Amino acid sequence: AQTVTQSQPEMSVQEAETVTLSCTYDTSESNYYLFWYKQPPSRQMILVIRQEAYKQQNATENRFSVNFQKAAKSFSLKISDSQLGDTAMYFCAFMPRTSGTYKYIFGTGTRLKVLA
Amino acid sequence: DTAVSQTPKYLVTQMGNDKSIKCEQNLGHDTMYWYKQDSKKFLKIMFSYNNKELIINETVPNRFSPKSPDKAHLNLHINSLELGDSAVYFCASSGLENEQFFGPGTRLTVL
């Protein structure tokens, strides 16, 4: 069975500092997508960053970057220069690229609080 | 323009009632989903449709019935509501890049 594990239920970081959220997954697939989604108190789910497993290069979106370690099945999210608006639940998600399969599997989330 | 919209955003109802949640996307995506997010924020897929065809049907009580009249719409009907159905229900759609676009969620409270 495919699973996604986020081992940090809660984290906090001082404004302007850097924080890393961890995510590991288990799969026998070789080709898949990985995502980080953010859910602020407004409850809207927002895509933060995506990574395709066949790409070696780590994805980056402004202050957000990932450390993708395919062999270790690890996909951590680094937030640089943390801002108060980054306070949210963060979900790691996995989706296999198997043809006809559109099933996303989400981790249990990490609640991040950015402190002023 | 809202990409994925859901109505209503809040729904409070009595146990035993039947209710529907509507979802529409204007992104031209072929695939749509329903998720349930429980009180611990755990997000679990319930159903997925691709071009009006049901492709994922997780272990969901048959009181839940999705309907996709066209590929831009995916509605969720729930019969005989129970206390345990209280949750936030999210509709989502995905296109060729496979990233999901979520609706604002519907908070369902069953009394």
> At A85, phi and psi to the nearest 5?
-70, -5
pLDDT of residue A77: 98
Interface of A with B (CB under 8 A): 33, 35, 37, 39, 43-47, 50, 89, 91, 93, 95, 97, 100, 102-106, 108-109, 111
Kindly report the nearest CA distance between residue A114 and chain B, in angstroms: 19
pLDDT of residue B59: 78
Strand partners, A19: A79
Lowest mean pLDDT, pick from A44-48, B31-35, B49-53? B49-53
pLDDT of residue A100: 60
CA B103/CA B75 separation, integer angstroms: 12
pLDDT of residue B1: 64
> Which among A44, A100, A108 has CB closest to B55?
A100
- Give the type of residue at A110: T
Token pair for B26: 């204007």
Q: What is the pLDDT along chain A (116 residues), one digit of tens a residue?
A: 789 999 999 999 999 999 999 999 999 888 899 999 999 999 999 999 999 998 889 999 999 999 999 999 999 999 999 999 999 999 999 998 775 667 889 999 999 999 99
pLDDT of residue A8: 96
